[in-house]
Amino acid sequence: MQNEPRAAFTAMENATLDDWRIIAAAHGPYQNNLANRVLAHLRLLEGDHGGFPIDRFQHSLQTATRAMRDGRDEDYVVCALLHDIGDTLASANHPDIAAAILKPYVSEDLHWMVENHGIFQGYYFFEHLGLDKNMREAFRGHPSFTMTAEFCERYDQTAFAPAYDTLPLTAFEPLVQRVFSTIRRSIYMNAAPAKT
């Protein structure tokens, strides 16, 4: 906003505590709006089917719907919803984007599942592209191997059905808001302007 207070420094090394109080005060509302920014970005997948039977937005919703109907908890369902959000900006490594966005807000095993789902999903199609469908075997024995294999088997590789009764984004918005409301892991999570 135009009239909001601004810090006065031109180089960070000259910033004062008052400057950082202004920045810290602005950060709260910005952080609180993160879920809305994530949801807006997810909608960018709409209309982008890339040759698949349904577009990437519907695939995301269907993956989350299947996970929810299977009784998965909120964090898991949000991971399912966002697992392909990186397709727009990281076509060659899309799982890294979702993993980075979710990392401060979910458990380490859910983060690992999202980060590696691309390799595990390959079990269902890599042979058609001249790749090794068993690439996931490199991770056999990892504590999150089974849950990641299960995510792809039950929800991700099955979520391409045009006739499936997929829930709309509004069904997941409260879950996304809740998951993104609590930071669990971040170098900034204990940050506060110094006392004078």
Kindly state whether residue 84 participates in binding Fe ion, applying the rule CB under 5 A: yes
**Beta carbon of residue 147, minimum distance to Fe ion (angstroms, whole number):** 16
Number of neighbouring beta carbons within 10 Å of residue 153:
14
* CA R_g for the chain: 20
35/81 with CB nearer Fe ion:
81
Q: Quick one: which of 156, 172, 179, 180 contacts Fe ion (CB under 5 A)?
A: 156
- In the complex, the smallest distance separating the C-beta of residue 119 from Fe ion, rounded to whole angstroms, is 10
- Based on CB atoms, which residue is closest to Fe ion, 84 or 115? 84
CB of 1 to Fe ion, least distance (A): 37
Nearest to 78 by CA among 181, 186, 188: 181
Count of chain residues binding Fe ion (CB under 5 A): 2
Taking CB under 5 A as the binding criterion, the range among 13-21, 33-41, 71-79, 80-88 that sits at the site for Fe ion is 80-88
Residue range at the interface with Fe ion (CB under 5 A); choices 13-21, 25-33, 81-89, 146-154: 81-89
Cα–Cα distance for residue pair 34/188, rounded to 1 Å: 15
Give pairs for 149-154: CB < 8 Å, separation 24+: 149/120, 149/123, 151/67, 151/80, 151/113, 151/117, 151/120, 152/117, 152/120, 152/121, 152/123, 152/124, 154/66, 154/67, 154/70
State in angstroms the smallest separation of the CB of 114 from Fe ion: 9
For Fe ion, which is the closer residue by CB, 117 or 179?
Answer: 117
Interface region with Fe ion, contact rule CB under 5 A, candidates 39-47, 140-148, 150-158, 176-184: 150-158
Residue 97 DSSP SS3 = helix
Helix locations, the chain, DSSP H:
17-32, 34-42, 56-69, 74-82, 94-102, 108-121, 145-151, 173-179
CB of 71 to Fe ion, least distance (A): 20
Which one of the spans 9-17, 36-44, 133-141, 148-156 is the region binding Fe ion (CB under 5 A)? 148-156
Query: What residue ranges bind Fe ion (CB under 5 A)?
Result: 84, 156
